């Protein structure tokens, strides 16, 4: 046993001496050793005329994502593709997607809601025996480099950032009320520099009152169990009601009635 300990200790020291990059990749390997896989959830969202002053931006731009068994803490959800890893939780294929996001702009604050249709859940690419799996999600328009856009996408894009020399650097692509996602094995840098085929889900604009009620639902003790809109939300338009009804799942009433168990609190096993 002592010999095993000394071997592990020696290996760790070598990694420290070899640099942070090696430690990072090794930590991902160790994580994947204790889970069936590690999932990296990378998000992007970028709108014209966003209010970007740090204190205003962080306090007023709130985003929520439910991606099958995952409900990552994506905070503002803004900028280019970035995120964190999550230990494997369960089957992803076919599971529902829900998202809501709030964007303060110079003109007004935007609120959007997205839910996948019943029996039309997550389309998942093969893992191909890699030790990690990636999910890229854009809440509305994404911010990327020109290299990641196809010719057709580039025609519909806008410049979203310039270099210090005044040349276009970032581009914004995507419709304001849609969610885009792609699954597979890639990094945030890949999503910004290499074209990918994104699946898309149509969303709908909602009011501030509706958004606040939904946000409270999604961040209560029930979390993803009750994280969706229903016909009893205040001030529903005919378009919103039709959207909600077209996306009603068979177990919605039971979920709202508390017939599902409350989610267990996530425990960080690395602390």
pLDDT at residue 62, as a whole number: 86
pLDDT at residue 51, as a whole number: 84
Share of the chain above pLDDT 90, in %: 64
Pairing of strands 109-115, 142-144: unpaired
pLDDT at residue 266, as a whole number: 64
Angle between helices 2-18 and 20-34 (to 10 degrees): 140
Residue identified by tokens 């854009």 is 138
pLDDT at residue 211, as a whole number: 97
Q: Sorting pLDDT into bands at 50, 70 and 90, what band is 35? A: very low
Answer for the pair 134, 42: CB distance below 8 angstroms, yes or no.
Answer: yes
pLDDT at residue 60, as a whole number: 64
Instruction: With H, G, I as helix, E, B as strand and everything else as coil, classify residue 225.
Output: helix
Q: Sorting pLDDT into bands at 50, 70 and 90, what band is 14? A: very low
pLDDT at residue 28, as a whole number: 44
pLDDT at residue 90, as a whole number: 82
Query: Of the given ranges (51-60, 88-97, 173-182, 184-193), which has the lowest mean pLDDT?
Result: 51-60
Condensed to tens digits (0 to 9), the pLDDT of residues 124-141 reads 998 777 778 899 999 999
Answer for the pair 137, 79: CB distance below 8 angstroms, yes or no.
Answer: no
Mean pLDDT for the chain overall:
84
pLDDT at residue 141, as a whole number: 96
Cα 11 from Cα 127, distance rounded (Å) = 29
Residue identified by tokens 């057709």 is 152
Domain definitions of the chain by residue range: 34-256
Question: What 3 state SS string does 120-132 have?
Answer: CCCCCCCCCCCCE
pLDDT at residue 132, as a whole number: 80
Cα 218 from Cα 42, distance rounded (Å) = 20
pTM above 0.85, yes or no: no
pLDDT at residue 1, as a whole number: 53
Query: For residue 41, with 0-12 CB atoms within 10 Å meaning exposed, 13-18 middle and 19 or more buried, which class applies?
Result: buried
Cα 171 from Cα 168, distance rounded (Å) = 8
Cα 86 from Cα 107, distance rounded (Å) = 36
The encoded tokens of residue 217 equal 């639902």
Condensed to tens digits (0 to 9), the pLDDT of residues 237-254 reads 999 999 999 999 999 999
What are the DSSP calls for 130-171, one per residue? -SEEEEEEEESSEEE-GGGS-HHHHHT-EEEEE-TTS-EEEE
The size of the chain, in residues, is 271
Predicted confidence (pLDDT) at residue 270 exceeds the cutoff of 60: no
Tell which wins on pLDDT, 172 or 78.
Answer: 172
Condensed to tens digits (0 to 9), the pLDDT of residues 44-87 reads 999 999 887 555 445 567 899 999 999 998 876 667 788 878 87
Answer for the pair 39, 130: CB distance below 8 angstroms, yes or no.
Answer: no
Cα 232 from Cα 247, distance rounded (Å) = 15
Q: Sorting pLDDT into bands at 50, 70 and 90, what band is 267? A: low
pLDDT at residue 126, as a whole number: 86
């Amino acid at each position: 046993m002592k010999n095993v300990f000394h071997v592990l200790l020696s290996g760790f020291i070598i990694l420290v001496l070899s640099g942070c990059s090696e430690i990072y990749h090794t930590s991902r390997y160790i994580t994947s050793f204790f889970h069936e896989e590690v999932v990296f959830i990378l998000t992007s969202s970028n709108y014209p005329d966003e209010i970007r002053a740090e204190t205003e931006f962080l306090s007023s731009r709130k985003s929520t994502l439910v991606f099958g068994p995952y409900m990552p803490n994506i905070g503002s959800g803004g900028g280019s593709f970035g995120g964190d890893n999550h230990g494997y939780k369960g089957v992803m294929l076919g599971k529902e997607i829900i998202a809501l996001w709030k964007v303060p702009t110079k003109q007004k604050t935007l609120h959007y809601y997205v839910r996948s249709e019943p029996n039309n859940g997550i389309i998942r690419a093969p893992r191909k025996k890699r030790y990690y799996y990636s999910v890229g999600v854009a809440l509305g328009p994404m911010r990327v480099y020109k290299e990641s856009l196809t010719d057709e996408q580039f025609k519909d894009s806008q410049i979203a950032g310039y270099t210090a020399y005044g040349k276009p650097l970032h581009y914004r692509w995507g419709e304001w009320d849609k969610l885009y996602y792609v699954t597979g094995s890639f990094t945030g840098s890949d999503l910004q520099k290499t074209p990918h085929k994104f699946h898309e889900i149509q969303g709908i604009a909602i009011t501030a009152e509706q958004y606040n009620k939904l946000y409270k639902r999604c961040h209560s003790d029930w979390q993803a169990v009750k994280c969706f809109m229903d016909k009893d939300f205040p001030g529903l338009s005919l378009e919103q009601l039709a959207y909600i009804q077209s996306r009603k799942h068979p177990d919605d009433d039971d979920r709202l009635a508390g017939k599902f168990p409350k989610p267990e609190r996530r425990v960080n096993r690395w602390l």
